[in-house]
Amino acid sequence: MSNTTDPSGFLGSNSISGFGYGIGISIGILLLITTITLTSYFCTRVQVPSAPNRRRHTPDLLEPQHSIIDVGLDDSTIMSYPKMLYSEATKLRKSDSTATCCSICLADYKATDKLRVLPDCEHLFHPKCIDPWLRLHPTCPVCRTSPIPTPLSTPLAEVVPLASRRD
């Protein structure tokens, strides 16, 4: 046995082997991917303003993320729509086309119920049901036809005349 030190190093190698290079490159790539992911996360996330920082002195202005909501009808317009008894409505219209219940509250109509008739579509509703609806929405809850004149077309405005057309 010799007491001289071997210049070849531990286990016969003085330099880092190929396995060591592979581990180093793998760790480097993982660190690079982690750094890019965290950087992109922190740079692209949206900052939500807290409630105290909002402007309270300008309630009339809409903020960009808000949309405009349909404005309902006024009380004078709603009250101008005719009312009739359910017994009269069944006599005036075909019995198969007249609804037997309110499509808002789903209660069956009685012969003595006074119902509000919407002008264009002639759908019937309890006044206590349809009046709050019309204050919030300017359209019929069944067919979405607007009882007020509008330059915009309503969803079923073009379909209904075509369906009732007879050749």
pLDDT digits (tens, 9 = 90+) for 91-148: 887 655 678 888 889 889 998 999 998 887 888 899 999 999 888 888 888 888 776 6
* Per-residue pLDDT band at 26 (split at 50, 70, 90): very high
Torsion over CA of 19, 22, 23 and 24, rounded to 10 degrees?
Answer: 120
Output 132 or 153, whichever has higher pLDDT. 132
Give the pLDDT confidence score for residue 48 in this predicted structure.
60
* 124: helix, strand or coil: strand
Residue recorded with tokens 């607007």? 146
Q: How many Å apart are CA 7 and CA 151, to the nearest integer?
A: 95
Q: How many Å apart are CA 89 and CA 83, to the nearest integer?
A: 10
Q: How many Å apart are CA 77 and CA 58, to the nearest integer?
A: 31
Closest CA to 75 of 1, 134, 159: 134
Give the pLDDT confidence score for residue 57 in this predicted structure.
52
Percent of the chain with pLDDT over 90: 13
Looking at 86-140, which runs of residues are DSSP E strands? 114-117, 124-125
Mark residue 131 as left, alpha or beta (left: phi above 0; alpha: psi -120 to 50; beta: remaining): alpha
Beta bridge partners of 84: 115
pTM metric for this prediction: 0.47
Output 105 or 2, whichever has higher pLDDT. 105
